[in-house]
Amino acid sequence: MKNKLLFGILALLLSSSAFAPLVVASSVFTTRLDDPKAVYLTQKEFGAQANGTSDDTAAIQHAIDKAAGDGDEGIVFVPSGRYRLTRTLYIWPGIRIFGYGAERPVFLLAPSTPGFQKGVGNMVIFTGFRPGSPRLSGSRVPFPPPGSVPPNLAIADANSGTFYSAMSNIDFEIGDGNPAAIAIRFHVAQHAFLSHMDFHIGSGLAALTQVGNEAEDLHIFGGRYGILTDKTSPAWQFTLIDSIFEGQRDAAIREHEAGLTLIRDTFRNVPTAIDIDPEYSDELWIKDNRFESISRAAIII
């Protein structure tokens, strides 16, 4: 096996004036955006309660399914509120979900939610082609009825053609007793992104896994890892901009072959910032990052 590691720029800024202090995140879309083709997650149409205790999984999935329609794209707007999930949400290719309101909406996992104690349990999965998609020529897998959660065997993984999927201005919280929980499986290709999101992972496994394309303005607190990942679906690098990791138990990022590009990111109060698995080739580009209170090593290669 040919071992090869390509290094880019490792530039550590030590000037505190270059970084703003950690503050409580505010909503970036404070008012309802008007889009006649978009789907709005309302209690009247979908039954979403947004009270933090009722199960809103089916309501959100129904809105996502409706936005997808017979095509492969769509927008879902989610108003402020606390939306409790009890099982995985599936986001089809080309679907973009935006939170709005005076406060960011929150997707939360209640303490000790069944299915999130062993292995890996994802609150949200960005998928490949959905069941019944017109792009699946000759597919015999029917499109699931509105509000249903299709079986895992009917869900395609992302590939190099999974474009345009996104989520923005929505926060995640994972309650105690969910050690296998991961907020988002973000396996995507081009023109896909995550932005303006806080993740309070607590005793969970990670905020993100199987990352792809680009993310910015993410604040990840707690968890065993902030990001746990390997090679992206198209084997292109993952870029992370203006984001913060704090308080992870093992490492802020553990990865291999992700081709990390990190710009203006901050790592604080963690044992290790970036832990690259042994016996793997990788690429790592770092510019204007800050490493603060790292107890073990900033980077393990």
* pTM of the predicted structure, to 2 decimals: 0.86
> Cα-flanking dihedrals φ and ψ of residue 128, to 5°?
-85, -155
The tens digit of pLDDT for each residue in 175-192 reads 999 999 999 999 999 999
Of all helices (H) and strands (E), which one includes residue 65? helix 57-68
Give the residue numbers spanning the domain of 193: 5-300
CB 59 within 8 A of CB 48: yes
Angstrom distances, CA of residue 174 to CA of 36, 183, 285: 33, 8, 30
How are beta strands 225-229 and 244-246 bridged, if at all? unpaired
96-107 confidence digits (pLDDT tens): 999 999 999 999
Q: What is the pLDDT of residues 144-169, one digit of tens each?
A: 555 555 555 567 888 888 899 999 99
Summarised one tens digit per residue, pLDDT across range 20-36 is: 333 457 899 999 989 99
More confident of the two residues 133 and 173 = 173
Distance CA 227, CA 125 (A): 15
Q: How far is CA 87 from the centre of its chain?
A: 16
**How many structural domains compose the chain?**
1
User: Could you read off the pLDDT of 205-223 as tens digits, one per residue?
Assistant: 999 999 999 999 999 999 9
Question: CATH number, domain at 39?
Answer: 2.160.20.10
